[in-house]
Structure 1
């Protein structure tokens, strides 16, 4: 019985950092969504990784890319955080977004840790399975 309790304590101890990590990642993504909703592209750009910032160079360029290429991110109606998973050494947060027309979109956010915070390093659209009639 004592070994079982030790094992339970060990598993809970491992889960706590992951839960905190997941909460921090969701907070970063959520803050960027809030910035987009407010058309605050300077703030939204601040959540992008240095590599993404180098690619787009300015918040204005970044904002144009999002409004033109990812309108569901610019004006989401509903956001749901799904699984956080590791793939080839990278952490990916799956997010379900409902756009203004009621369409569902799945996105994977690649997250990288920088000092004491998380940055968004990539966003990929996930193809949804086709519904059978």
Structure 2
């Protein structure tokens, strides 16, 4: 009986991690699509990957694009990007992304993600400390 209880607890604890990994491709696709939209100067498409709350704050694709251009230039025009770990914090998913800008500088950003009926949407982006040199 004790072994079954322990096995059941282990299964329950493992479930969120499995769900996170199931979401990872769709989350990466949403972030990829938004970055590609910025690169193509398609502000309407980029704005569409923002959560409803972000769209309400900025009101228009143009205002949203201006904020990204000025506040997140590495996202506006990255040289390359790659996905790092996906974290679950109290049921909220956060995707870390390593971005290299055109000057070769590395930036780590953390995207807060929200599931919607239309797919995953970005509800915020935080710039984290840059990686150590030589790391």
Normalised-by-shorter TM-score class: 0.7 to 0.9
Offset, 1:97: 0.1
Equivalent in the alignment of 1:125: 127
How do residues 1-133 of structure 1 correspond to structure 2 at under 5 angstroms?
17-128=19-130, 130-131=132-133
Q: What does the per-residue CA deviation read over 1:42-73, in whole Å, with 9 as the maximum and x for residues that have no partner?
A: 10000000000000000000000011111100
C-alpha distance in 2 between matches for 1:46 and 1:129 = 30
TM-score (norm 1): 0.84
Q: What does the per-residue CA deviation read over 1:53-102, in whole Å, with 9 as the maximum and x for residues that have no partner?
A: 00000000000001111110010011010000012331100000000100
**Which deviates further from its counterpart, 86-95 or 62-71?**
86-95
Gaps in structure 2 of 5+ consecutive residues: 1-6
**Which deviates further from its counterpart, 15-24 or 39-48?**
15-24
Gaps in structure 1 of 5+ consecutive residues: 1-6
SS of the equivalent of 2:102 reads coil
State the number of aligned residues. Answer: 124
C-alpha distance in 1 between matches for 2:115 and 2:26 = 10
Offset, 1:128: 2.4
TM-score (norm 2): 0.82
